[in-house]
């Protein structure tokens, strides 16, 4: 059952691994799905949830807190504003979104070959986002630093399967809170040429990000093109707050993309049911996207959904569970009916380490992510501990999984070569295909090659140290970092950007640079 | 992001685990899927593969080796027999199957409440099958024994999510080859009351299994009902051999069910393409099932498919990869078009240990298994090392995943309670739902409860020993075995069975009992 060992190359494990890595160098700017989405509800079922969302918007309403501009815009568009509570006549929020929000858009990368398409059959993978801690096998779990941040930007750049540089790939806790956004955005520009995300922790930081993007891309180019994409979270249940709305406004005014994402722990931040969680998520997202379209009609928006289930024993969030998978499938279908790109999913887990729990939960989230047809996958690699930690080993293990999805997306080749009829007609029953010309002609491309999965014999595996997947991943990310070469960046541009950042930092009271 | 800790029960980890276990006691005899199957090919694409299979059957043919009865039956049915090579006029094999094979059937269990339905929306989970080795964290990897065999039967019995006792849950290598089938079948009858599989390693052993089933169920009951289900593997490419055909005949003559399963390492035992592998699998399965229908028209058959991809570096089989997932989706659709139940998938992995690789690969096989609509899932729990080892920790980790599939199969509840409109109408924006009556009313059933996933805080996890999932699973299977209670078995029946076995064993030359 372990099969033959034909075709083994000389040179031992290291050489084999190098050969596998080499086979991976060619990436694509984003993945194109070739299958139709898996549906868990009928049109009637989806309509029932939409009806519930409409009732929430009409009768309960959404709070837009400390955001007088939002109240003014929404009132003028026909909403019923009572204090900070905004109620939408049935269908209004959806109408405002559908009237002007683009069904698809491109985020231009510093290297235009890496620009990504949001919408339709495109799927974009980005690393995990927002963790204060980082984890690796050597040093365990600790607070993230700007060095970790740069390392994760470099690893995402070096992976052919991660399309997007992401945003807060970890919190650089060693840097001052009020200026670290400069260093984060700079790191994405300097150490990668893939598209990236902007700061959202304060409206001014969003404006700073736009300013840096103007330096990198040119002010007039930015006005015409989406070069930034940023994560705006609702404060569920049914609240959008001033910080997030202010950041959203800063980006939308500059025609830059935002994803309006209800971030829900079901049972606490939404009802403890799938349909209830979906209805609330849809209501919140529609209200948030309507606001963005009123700020600047036609500004690119993404409907986001992040839903975890709750341990009813401890109240802690749980990941990779069946109920959030049902939410994901349902929300993807609801987003298609709104007509905007959809963000959800990722390699989510509650596990503290890259063990079997982490892998089961990550795969059980990535499967619905892909089969539901998600357009932007934040947290596609690296996520540990419910998002509290970014893992080095987890990042490369997850990236390997993303490579597999690229192979899956090729679909079934039905060409004469794919059906292999000539091979059958020239091969006797009982004779293996190993040495057949058809096999030799397909050998390089037939199957996905994992650089991390061990398929050797038990004896060979034992001889090589009985390593588990996390230990192999440890060697892998170190090799990736040691082989990392930065993408070219114009010296004058780099200097201009750095000088601008220094001036900004110097303007803060007590700034230490 | 780790959420609140409301609702935590007293008594520490052990009490919490006990409570979680208690919540799991209620099983169901089999799972009923509520979603339509995910499709990777159009009707036209499936037809192209069927056309290729027809051409293989017509022009290449299938060898039925050392099986003169098969050659006679197939010749009489209109096939072209040349030596041991059987060529089928286009459509003949499919016609022979469709004419008499049942679309669905029930395998009756010793406890009729545990009888399982094959076909339609039913999915049956069975443990892994056929490994010479076993693995656990304490003793590592070693040859399996009858004690291991009994332990796995007991664990599968104790799991509410494993519906079927399986067959050769591991090879009891400590018992003589020619008589160990008696001990295996007896263990399934004695230590479980779930349905089980029969011996196939020799036609006489199949007849022995039928004889034992006659003792257990009664001869006339057996004639009218399917109480045995057995795995018949093709010898791919394009060969059925005498041992397997003889076993299939023994079962079919007694009206007992067989699954005719091409077991393929793509690139060696089939061409290195998805469509080619599917065409061959379909051709082999149709030929095998046609034979069974000629032996006894109407005998229950299952179309089986087991396909792994091959490492093009080492020639070793690889699992959890994207190409076998495409084969699985395609074969499930092809089996639906034949109109017989379908077997495929499982918690497959090449990993030697229950690590992240094992979990990614298992989940990446179980997801297509479930979304494709597989009816019988052999290897649903326990599989390690490409099937060479059965793992104690892996078994309970996989069984937990099977529990999640039961929750997924409930689908989205669209009732008023599911949509939670009353909850929204009585809860202010910004107010958590934790203490809301709707949450309290749903708390027990809202989300799947994993007995193995850790969702505690990092600090608590560290305090409890920083255990990984495999270590928690180690404690879990030991607790399950210590709490195991055998199902009732009539003493007279037990004695009759044991005496019969002793007589059979004594009849072997040099028998030691």
Q: Can you spell out the DSSP letters for A257-302?
A: EEEEE-EEEBTTTB-SSHHHHHHHHHHHHHHHHHHHHHHSTT--EE
Residues of A in contact with B461 (CB under 8 A): 352
Cα B389 to Cα A427, B131, B369, B384: the distances in Å are 33, 5, 21, 5
Cα–Cα distance, B483 to B451 (Å, whole number): 15
Phi, psi of A230 (to 5 degrees): -140, 155
Determine the Cα angle at B137 with ends B134 and B138, to 5°: 95
Optimal mutation site among B10, B455, B472, interface A, most CBs of chain A within 10 A: B455
Cα distances (angstroms) measured from residue B150 to each of A261, B156, B188, B486, B513: 51, 10, 8, 11, 19
Min Cα distance A424 → chain B (Å) is: 7
Show residues of chain A in contact with B433, CB under 8 Å: 237, 267-272
Q: Using 70 as the pLDDT threshold, list the residues of chain A that sit under it.
A: 1-26, 510-513
d(Cα B445, Cα B20) in Å, to the nearest integer?
12
User: And the tokens for A90?
Assistant: 């049935």
Model pLDDT, residue B510: 65
DSSP calls for B485-504:
-PPP--HHHHHHHHHHHHHH
Structure tokens at B219: 């001869």
Radius of gyration of chain A (CA): 24
Contact B132, B170 (CB under 8 A): yes
Contact A434, B264 (CB under 8 A): no
CB contact under 8 A, B424 and A280: yes
Would you state the pLDDT for residue B18? 47
Residues of B in contact with A458 (CB under 8 A): 133, 141, 352, 385, 388-389
Residue with tokens 């220094």: A502
Residue B143 is predicted with a pLDDT of 98
Could you give the C-alpha distances from B391 to A395, A460, B152, in angstroms and in order? 27, 19, 9
Q: Give the DSSP H or E segment for B75.
A: helix B68-76
With beta carbons less than 8 A apart as the criterion, state whether A135 and A389 touch: yes
Residue contact B36–A39, C-beta within 8 A: yes
pLDDT in the model for residue A467: 98
| Pick from A318, A355, A453: CB nearest B469 | A355
In angstroms, the CA A494 to CA A500 distance is: 10
Q: Phi-psi region for residue B5, left (φ > 0), alpha (ψ -120 to 50) or beta?
A: alpha
CA distance B96 to B340: 12
| Stated pTM of the model | 0.95
Cα dihedral B154, B343, B270, B319 sign: negative
Say if residues B168 and B175 touch (Cβ distance below 8 Å).
Answer: no
Contact assessment for residue B230 and residue B198, using Cβ atoms and an 8 Å cutoff: yes
Tens-place pLDDT, residues A395-422? 999 999 999 999 999 999 999 999 999 9
Query: How many Å apart are CA B190 and CA B358, to the nearest integer?
Result: 31
Decide if A472 contacts A452 (C-beta within 8 A): yes
Determine the angle formed by the axes of helices B392-409 and B146-158, rounding to 10 degrees. 20
B284: Cβ contacts below 8 Å, ≥ 6 apart: B62, B234, B236, B237, B238, B240, B260, B262
Query: Which residues of chain B neighbour A3 with C-beta distances below 8 Å?
Result: 265, 268, 310, 315-317, 386
Q: How far is A303 from chain B (nearest CA, A)?
A: 20
> Which residues does A45 contact at the CB level (< 8 Å), separation at least 6?
B412, B414
How is residue A159 written in tokens? 């992976």
Pick from B19, B265, B270: which is nearest to A3 by CB?
A: B265
Q: DSSP letters of B286-336?
A: HHHHHHHHHHSTT--EEEE-EEEEE-TTT--EE-S-HHHHHHHHHHHHHHH
B458·A363 Cβ contact <8 A: no
Q: With contacts defined as CB-CB under 8 Å, which chain B residues touch A57?
A: none
Nearest CB to A237; choose among B48, B276, B433: B433
Assign B481 to helix, strand or coil. helix
pLDDT digits (tens, 9 = 90+) for A5-19: 333 333 444 444 444
Chain A positions touching B20 (Cβ under 8 A) are 313
3 state DSSP class of A249 = helix
Token pair in block for residue A348: 């989510």
CB atoms within 10 A of CB A332: 26
B364–A367 CB contact, under 8 Å: yes
Determine the residue among A276, A356, A380, A414 to mutate to test chain B binding: the one whose Cβ has the most chain B Cβ atoms within 10 Å: A356
User: What proportions of chain B, in percent to the nearest 5, are helix, strand and coil?
Assistant: 45, 15, 40
Q: Note whether A404 contacts B322, CB cutoff 8 Å.
A: yes
CB A169 within 8 A of CB A214: no
Q: Best of A272, A331, A464 to disrupt the B interface by mutation (most B CBs within 10 Å)?
A: A272
Residue A125 pairs with which residues in a beta bridge?
A377
B313 and A7: CB-CB below 8 Å? yes
pLDDT tens by residue, B458-502: 999 999 999 999 999 999 999 999 999 999 999 999 999 999 999
Determine contact, residues A338/A98, Cβ cutoff 8 Å: yes
Pairing relationship of beta strands B140-143 and B133-136 according to DSSP bridges: antiparallel
Q: Which positions in chain B touch A350 (Cβ < 8 Å)?
A: 453-455
Q: Which of B305, B308, B360, B368 is nearest to B334 (CA)?
A: B305
Which chain A positions have a beta carbon within 8 Å of B468's beta carbon? 353, 355-357
Other Cβ atoms less than 10 A from the Cβ of A14: the count is 10
For residue B366, give how far its alpha carbon lies from the nearest alpha carbon of chain A (Å). 9
CB spacing of A469 vs B355 below 8 angstroms: yes
Min CA distance, A456 vs chain B (Å)?
Answer: 7
Cβ <8 Å between B469 and A356: yes
Residue A312: per-residue pLDDT? 80
Regions of chain B with pLDDT less than 70: 1-26, 510-513
- Give chain B positions within 8 Å (CB) of A276: 418-420, 423-424, 438
Distances (CA, A) of B502 to B5, B150, B183, B197, B214: 59, 19, 10, 21, 16
Among A122, A357, A138, A250, which residue's Cα sits nearest to residue B455? A357
Residue of A82, A271, A368, A445 best to disrupt the B interface, most CBs of B under 10 A: A271
| Substitution target from A280, A397, A447 for chain B, most B beta carbons within 10 A | A447
With beta carbons under 8 A apart, name residues in chain B contacting A36. Answer: 39
């Amino acid at each position: 059952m372990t099969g033959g060992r034909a075709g083994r190359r000389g040179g031992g494990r290291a050489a084999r691994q190098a050969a596998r890595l080499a086979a991976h160098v060619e990436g694509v700017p984003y993945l194109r799905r070739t299958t139709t989405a898996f549906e868990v509800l009928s049109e009637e079922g989806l309509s029932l949830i939409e009806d519930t969302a409409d009732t929430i918007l009409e009768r309960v309403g959404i709070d837009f807190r400390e955001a007088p501009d939002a109240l003014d815009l929404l009132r003028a568009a026909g909403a019923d504003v009572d204090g900070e509570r905004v109620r939408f006549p049935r269908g209004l929020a959806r109408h405002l979104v559908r009237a002007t929000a683009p069904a698809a858009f491109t985020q231009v990368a510093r290297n235009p070959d890496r620009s990504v398409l949001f919408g339709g059959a495109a799927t974009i993978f980005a690393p995990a986002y927002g963790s204060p801690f980082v984890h690796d096998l050597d040093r365990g779990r600790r607070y993230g630093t700007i060095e970790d941040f740069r390392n994760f930007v470099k690893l995402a750049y070096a992976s052919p399967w991660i399309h997007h540089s992401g945003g807060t790939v970890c919190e650089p806790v060693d840097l001052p809170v009020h200026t670290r956004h400069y260093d984060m955005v700079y790191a994405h520009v300097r150490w990668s040429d893939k598209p990236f995300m902007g700061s959202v922790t304060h409206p001014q930081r969003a404006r700073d990000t736009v300013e840096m993007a103007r330096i990198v891309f040119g002010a007039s180019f930015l006005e015409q093109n989406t070069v930034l994409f940023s994560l705006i979270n609702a404060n569920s249940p049914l609240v959008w707050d001033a910080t997030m709305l202010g950041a959203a406004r800063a980006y939308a005014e500059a025609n830059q993309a935002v994803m309006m994402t209800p971030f829900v722990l079901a049972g606490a931040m939404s009802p403890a049911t799938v349909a209830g969680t979906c209805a609330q998520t849809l209501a919140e997202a529609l209200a948030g996207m309507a606001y963005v379209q009123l700020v600047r009609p036609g500004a690119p928006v993404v409907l986001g959904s992040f839903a975890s289930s709750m341990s009813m024993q401890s109240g802690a969030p749980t990941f990779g569970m069946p109920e959030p998978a049902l939410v994901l499938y349902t929300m993807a279908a609801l987003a298609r009916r709104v007509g905007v790109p959809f963000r959800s999913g990722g390699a989510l887990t509650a596990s503290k380490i890259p063990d079997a729990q982490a892998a089961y939960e990550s795969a059980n989230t990535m499967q619905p992510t892909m089969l539901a047809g998600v357009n932007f996958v934040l947290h596609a690699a690296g996520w540990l501990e419910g998002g509290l930690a970014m893992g080095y080993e987890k990042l490369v293990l997850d990236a390997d999984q993303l490579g597999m999805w690229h192979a899956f997306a090729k679909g079934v080749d039905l060409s004469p070569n794919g059906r292999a009829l000539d091979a059958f007609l020239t091969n006797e029953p009982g004779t293996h295909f190993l040495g057949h010309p058809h096999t030799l002609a397909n050998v390089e491309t037939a199957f996905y090659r994992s650089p991390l999965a061990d398929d050797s014999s038990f004896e060979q595996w034992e001889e090589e140290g009985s390593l588990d997947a996390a230990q192999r991943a440890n060697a892998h990310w170190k090799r990736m970092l040691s082989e990392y070469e930065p993408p070219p960046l114009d010296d004058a541009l780099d200097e201009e950007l750095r000088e601008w950042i220094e001036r900004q930092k110097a303007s803060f009271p007590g700034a230490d640079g």
